[in-house]
Copies of this chain bind each other. A is one copy, B any other.
């Protein structure tokens, strides 16, 4: 049984009407000092806690934020989820909201899940993650005018609130770092063209190469999945270029690829950090303990989670948004590998 002690119980104990108790407890009514005290005492004595479901029903809001994340393969674990979720939960709680996690479905039915949550009144807003170009959820929520915030960007022409890590800045730092270390032939193990995140990061690479006056050869860029296997294969390809064209440094778009590349280097008898620089992206938990420790880029995940909730809450409260999009700068973590 839930809390048996209701407003009426407190009211009876304090000798006032239960509506008065409600108002006093919510600070919406000034009463004489003594009745105020009686009400407070009664609430404390009976250990009253307002039933949130009843409250939500009355005010016709759920104070819930829907969130779902992609099912990672057993291989590619989402090491970011912990930080992202807990920062959102903290921030949401502080604003009187809670998180509602729900299963992530791919495909056409995905929007149905979002619609269902709205129609049944379960959520007041959404945080979207794993967004990409032409995300059907964004189109749906925009046309419905339902509050949401995206962690990540989509089509440039769409105007919606988002939070994102500035991937261009990240690769900017990475590439500049390598250039400063004297590298001139810098290869990159990248993602396919249909990834907005990937394209954004590549922008930082191209920018620095160009402004440093360095050549970018098409054969230095390998595009494929963000897996260990692809990282390894791509690195092998790059290593097998003729000696005078071969990159002396390899930039990757995530740590998993970087580790694959490290294996490839080892297979070719190269010592990572001395014969070949390799830089990752993500700062995965184990990356600091690799041989050699991986130079990589750390994303401000907790800040992103907080910002997502902050932006979403201002929308749900009906306040105007001062800034539609927020870009957070990642941090280059220089270790030994590059």
Interface residues of A (CB under 8 A from B): 1-3, 47, 49-54, 56-57, 60-62, 69, 71-72, 74-79, 81-83, 85-86, 89-90, 93, 98-104, 116, 118-122, 228, 259-260, 263, 266, 284-287, 289-291
Contacts and interface: CB of A to CB of B under 8 A. Distances in A.
Contact of A285 (B2, B119, B286, B291): B286
Given A89-B103, A121-B51, A76 B285 contact: yes
A263 B289 contact: yes
B50 A53 contact: no
Nearest to A77: B285
Listed residue (A62, A78, A104, A291) with the most chain B CB atoms within 10 angstroms of its CB:
A78
A314 B2 CA distance: 18
Contacts of A52: 120-122
Nearest to A2: B121
- Tallying the copies of this chain within the complex gives 2
Contacts of A89: 101-103
Contacts of A74: 83
B228 A289 contact: yes
A291 B291 contact: yes
Given A2-B119, A81-B81, A259-B286, 6 more contacts: A2-B61, A2-B121, A77-B79, A79-B285, A86-B103, A89-B103
Which of A75, A102, A260 gathers the greatest number of chain B CB atoms within 10 Å? A102
Contacts of A101: 85, 89, 98-99, 101
A168 to B, nearest CB: 24
B86 A116 contact: no
A268 to B, nearest CB: 15
Contacts of A61: 2
Q: 10 nearest interchain CB pairs?
A: A49-B119, A286-B286, A77-B285, A2-B121, A78-B82, A51-B121, A52-B120, A3-B119, A57-B57, A77-B79
Given A77-B82, A79-B77, A89-B103, A120 B286 contact: no
A252 B116 CA distance: 47
Given A90-B103, A289-B259, A119 B77 contact: no
A296 to B, nearest CB: 13
Nearest to A88: B101
A120 B48 CA distance: 9
A287 to B, nearest CB: 8
Contacts of A263: 289
Residue among A53, A100, A259, A266 with the highest chain B CB neighbour number at 10 A? A53
Contacts of A260: 289
